[in-house]
C-alpha cells in the first residue's frame, strides 16, 4: 500500500469495494464475485466471459481502453476511496501507476516497488550471493550471441523475447529499446505466487509455465498456458520463500505478486518478477474460489515480510492435496473472424471449460489469443493423475472447422510428458541441493 493510501487504511471496515484493471481481468472478476466484493472492472478485451461475470454478479463494466495508458481518464471519475487492483500488463506502466496512486489506494506493490522489481539489474544486485540468483543479465549485446536472449524491459507474456542465435534477431537487437540480454537457461520454466500470511510472506504451489508451443500457435517464447499447482518440496519452498522475503523487504512490495523461474538440475534460477497478480492464480482459485481477493484485502495492510531465520527453518505445514489443472491459451494462426474461432463448446467434455471468448464481430489478428481452455486432471487407476484432452475433445475437434490449427492429441502427449519431466527434475534438483546449514 502506498503512503498516500494510508489515509484509506480502513478498507475492511465497510463492504469491500475495488477496481480491477489490466490486460485481462476476467479471472480476477470471478474471484471478486466469489469473495462478495463490489467491483468495477475494465481491460483490453471486454470478452464475453467478463461481461457475463459483471452481469450475473452485479459488477460494473467500465469503458474499454485502447491501451492501458488510456485508463487514467476512465478511472478518474470514480470515488477516490475505491482501491485499485492491477492485473497483467500494469507492471509495465510505472508512470501510469504513479499517477493512479496519487488519487486512490493501490492494492499491491506501489509504483516505486514495481520499478525496483522490474529492473533486472536491481534484482541481480539484490540476489548476488544468495541461493536463488537472477539469470545472468547484461545491458549490451554479447559479442558471442550463442546462448543469449533478447528481452524487452517493458513486455508481458513473453512477447518480444528472441534468441540471439538467430542472425535476424542479432541484426535488429540494436533497434530494440529498452531491452536487456539474458543468458538462456536450460530447464523448465515455472512460477510461484507470493501471498500475504499471518506472519509475513507465504508461497503458493508451483505452476509449470508453457511458452512457445507451436501446437497452440504460440511464437518463440510467447506464454501459452500454465499447469498446476504442484506442492513445493521443503528445500525449494525454503529457498524461494527466503528470496520473496528479501525482495519484499528491499522493494517495499505488499499484496500478491509472482516470481518466474527456471528449474534446472542445480536448482531454481530467477528469470523475472511480476509485481502484480500472476495469471497462474486462476488454478489456485479452482480449489478456493475468492481466495485471491481475500488475500489482497488482508495483505495490503501488512508490513512486507518480517519472518525470522528460525521461521524459515521450521517445518513446512503439509498442504491439502490439490488436483492440478492445465490452462491452455489458444492463438490464431491467421486473421479470422471471432465468430467460430473458438472450439465448439458442444464438442468439449463437461469437465473442460472454455473461457475468455472474444466478442462476436471482432477480427482475431494472427498470433493473438483467441480463448483459454481449462483441462482438469483425472485420476488414473488411483495411482497418478493425467490431463486428458483426447477422450472426446480431440477426436471431435478434429472435425470442427474452428479447431483446424490445434492438434489436441499432440498437445496432450506433450503436456503430460512435460509435467512428468518437471516432477522428475524436482527430484534431480533436490539431490543436488546443498543445505547451507
Question: Do residues 196 and 168 both lie within one domain?
Answer: no
283 domain residue, yes or no: yes
The residue out of 152, 184, 216 marking a domain boundary is: 184
Between 399 and 106, the higher pLDDT residue: 106
Q: What is the pLDDT of residue 15?
A: 74
What's the CA gap between 58 and 38, in Å, rounded?
Answer: 8
Cβ-contact 259, 135 below 8 angstroms? no
pLDDT at 349 over 80: no
Range 184-205 burial, b when 16+ CB lie within 10 A, else e: bbebbbbbbbbbbeeebbbbbb
For 261, the 3-state DSSP assignment is: strand
Range 229-265 burial, b when 16+ CB lie within 10 A, else e: bbbbeebbbbbbbbbbbbbbbbbbbbbbbbbbbbbbe
pLDDT at 167 over 80: no
Task: Identify the H or E element spanning 270.
Answer: strand 267-274
130 domain residue, yes or no: no
127 domain residue, yes or no: no
Cβ-contact 108, 254 below 8 angstroms? yes
Between 44 and 317, the higher pLDDT residue: 44
For 223, the 3-state DSSP assignment is: strand
Owner of C-alpha cell 487492483: 85
Q: Which domain holds residue 147?
A: 136-184
The residue out of 151, 184, 217 marking a domain boundary is: 184
Question: Do residues 9 and 142 both lie within one domain?
Answer: no
Q: What is the pLDDT of residues 75-85, one digit of tens each?
A: 999 999 999 99
119 domain residue, yes or no: no
Q: What is the pLDDT of residue 340?
A: 84
Question: Do residues 260 and 156 both lie within one domain?
Answer: no
Q: pLDDT category, 177, cuts 50, 70, 90?
A: low
Cβ-contact 271, 262 below 8 angstroms? yes
3-state secondary structure 173-208: HHHCCCEEEEECCCCEEEEEEEEEECCEEEECCEEE
Question: Do residues 261 and 192 both lie within one domain?
Answer: yes
**Using the 8-state DSSP alphabet, how is residue 106 labeled?**
B
113 domain residue, yes or no: no
Q: For residue 410, what are the contacts with CB-CB under 8 A and spacing of at least 6?
A: 215
What's the CA gap between 239 and 251, in Å, rounded?
Answer: 18
Q: What is the pLDDT of residue 68?
A: 95
pLDDT at 405 over 80: no
Mean pLDDT in the chain?
84
Q: Average of pLDDT values for 291-305?
A: 72
Q: pLDDT category, 378, cuts 50, 70, 90?
A: confident
Question: Do residues 154 and 68 both lie within one domain?
Answer: no
pTM of the predicted protein model: 0.88
Question: Do residues 47 and 86 both lie within one domain?
Answer: yes
Question: Do residues 75 and 21 both lie within one domain?
Answer: yes
Question: Do residues 56 and 199 both lie within one domain?
Answer: no
What's the CA gap between 209 and 369, in Å, rounded?
Answer: 16
Question: Do residues 427 and 317 both lie within one domain?
Answer: yes
**Using the 8-state DSSP alphabet, how is residue 82 labeled?**
S
Overall number of domains in the chain: 3
pLDDT at 171 over 60: no
Q: Which three cell numbers stand for residue 423?
A: 516432477
Distances (CA, A) of 242 to 257, 351, 394: 15, 38, 43
Question: Do residues 175 and 205 both lie within one domain?
Answer: no
Least confident of 26-30, 258-262, 340-344, 352-356: 340-344
Cβ-contact 96, 102 below 8 angstroms? no
Q: What is the pLDDT of residue 329?
A: 95
Q: Average of pLDDT values for 39-53?
A: 97
Q: pLDDT category, 379, cuts 50, 70, 90?
A: low
384 domain residue, yes or no: yes
pLDDT at 41 over 70: yes
Q: What is the pLDDT of residue 401?
A: 44
pLDDT at 8 over 50: no
122 domain residue, yes or no: no
Q: Average of pLDDT values for 147-161?
A: 89
Question: Do residues 211 and 140 both lie within one domain?
Answer: no
Q: pLDDT category, 170, cuts 50, 70, 90?
A: low
125 domain residue, yes or no: no
Q: What is the pLDDT of residue 154?
A: 84
Owner of C-alpha cell 470514480: 78
What's the CA gap between 251 and 256, in Å, rounded?
Answer: 14
Cβ-contact 426, 233 below 8 angstroms? yes
Q: What is the pLDDT of residue 136?
A: 97
Distances (CA, A) of 12 to 37, 84, 111, 148: 11, 14, 23, 47
What's the CA gap between 317 and 295, in Å, rounded?
Answer: 19
Between 42 and 200, the higher pLDDT residue: 42
CATH code (residue 72) = 3.40.50.720
Q: Average of pLDDT values for 52-67?
A: 97
Cβ-contact 3, 67 below 8 angstroms? no
Q: What is the pLDDT of residue 305?
A: 41
Task: Identify the H or E element spanning 39.
Answer: strand 38-43
Q: Average of pLDDT values for 244-270?
A: 96
Cβ-contact 75, 65 below 8 angstroms? no
Q: pLDDT category, 107, cuts 50, 70, 90?
A: very high
Q: What is the pLDDT of residue 118?
A: 96
Q: What is the pLDDT of residue 432?
A: 74
Q: What is the pLDDT of residue 221?
A: 93
Q: What is the pLDDT of residues 111-151, one digit of tens each?
A: 999 999 999 999 999 999 999 999 999 998 888 888 999 99
Q: What is the pLDDT of residue 198?
A: 74
Q: What is the pLDDT of residue 343?
A: 82
Task: Give me the helix-helix angle, 26-34 and 48-57, nearest 10°.
Answer: 20
Q: What is the pLDDT of residue 183?
A: 96
The residue out of 107, 125, 147 marking a domain boundary is: 107
Least confident of 5-9, 88-92, 158-162: 5-9
Question: Do residues 84 and 221 both lie within one domain?
Answer: no
- The residues facing 316 across adjacent strands are none
Amino acid at each position: 500500500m502506498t503512503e498516500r493510501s494510508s489515509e484509506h487504511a480502513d478498507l475492511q471496515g465497510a463492504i469491500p469495494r475495488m477496481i480491477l484493471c489490466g490486460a485481462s481481468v476476467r479471472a480476477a472478476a470471478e474471484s471478486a464475485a466469489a469473495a462478495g466484493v463490489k467491483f468495477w472492472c475494465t481491460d483490453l478485451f471486454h470478452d464475453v466471459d467478463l461481461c457475463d461475470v459483471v452481469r450475473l454478479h452485479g459488477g460494473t463494466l467500465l469503458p474499454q481502453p485502447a491501451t492501458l495508458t488510456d485508463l487514467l481518464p476512465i478511472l478518474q471519475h470514480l470515488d477516490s476511496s475505491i482501491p485499485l487492483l492491477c492485473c497483467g500488463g500494469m507492471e509495465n506502466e510505472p508512470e501510469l501507476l504513479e499517477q493512479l496512486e496519487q488519487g486512490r489506494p493501490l492494492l499491491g506493490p506501489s509504483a516505486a516497488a514495481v520499478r525496483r522489481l522490474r529492473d533486472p539489474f536491481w534484482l541481480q544486485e539484490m540476489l548476488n550471493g544468495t541461493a536463488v540468483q537472477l539469470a545472468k543479465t547484461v545491458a549490451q549485446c554479447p559479442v558471442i550471441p550463442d546462448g543469449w536472449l533478447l528481452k524487452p524491459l517493458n513486455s508481458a507474456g513473453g512477447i518480444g523475447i528472441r534468441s540471439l542465435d538467430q542472425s535476424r534477431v542479432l541484426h535488429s537487437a540494436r533497434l530494440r529499446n529498452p531491452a536487456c540480454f539474458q543468458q538462456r537457461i536450460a530447464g523448465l520454466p515455472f512460477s510461484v505466487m507470493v501471498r500475504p500470511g499471518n506472519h509475513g510472506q507465504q508461497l503458493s504451489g508451483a505452476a509449470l509455465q508453457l511458452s512457445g508451443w507451436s501446437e497452440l500457435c504460440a511464437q518463440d517464447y510467447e506464454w501459452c498456458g500454465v499447469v498446476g499447482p504442484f506442492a513445493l518440496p521443503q528445500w525449494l519452498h525454503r529457498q524461494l520463500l527466503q528470496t520473496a522475503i528479501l525482495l519484499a523487504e528491499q522493494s517495499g512490495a505488499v499484496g500478491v505478486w509472482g516470481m518466474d523461474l527456471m528449474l534446472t538440475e542445480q536448482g531454481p534460477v530467477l528469470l523475472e518478477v511480476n509485481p502484480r497478480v500472476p495469471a497462474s492464480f486462476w488454478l489456485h482459485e479452482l480449489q478456493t474460489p475468492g481466495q485471491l481477493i481475500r488475500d489482497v484485502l488482508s495483505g495490503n495492510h501488512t508490513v512486507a515480510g518480517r519472518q525470522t531465520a528460525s521461521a524459515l527453518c521450521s517445518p513446512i505445514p503439509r498442504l491439502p492435496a490439490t488436483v492440478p489443472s492445465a490452462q491452455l491459451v489458444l492463438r490464431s494462426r491467421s486473421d479470422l473472424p471471432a465468430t467460430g474461432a473458438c472450439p465448439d463448446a458442444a464438442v468439449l467434455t463437461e469437465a473442460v471449460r472454455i473461457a475468455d471468448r472474444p466478442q462476436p464481430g471482432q477480427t482475431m489478428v494472427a498470433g493473438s489469443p483467441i480463448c483459454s481452455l481449462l483441462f482438469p486432471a483425472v485420476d488414473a487407476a488411483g495411482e497418478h493423475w493425467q490431463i486428458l484432452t483426447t477422450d472426446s475433445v480431440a477426436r471431435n475437434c478434429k472435425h470442427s472447422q474452428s479447431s483446424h490449427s490445434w492438434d489436441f492429441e499432440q498437445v496432450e502427449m506433450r503436456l503430460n510428458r512435460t509435467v512428468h519431466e518437471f516432477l522428475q527434475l524436482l527430484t534431480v534438483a533436490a539431490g543436488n541441493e546443498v543445505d547451507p546449514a
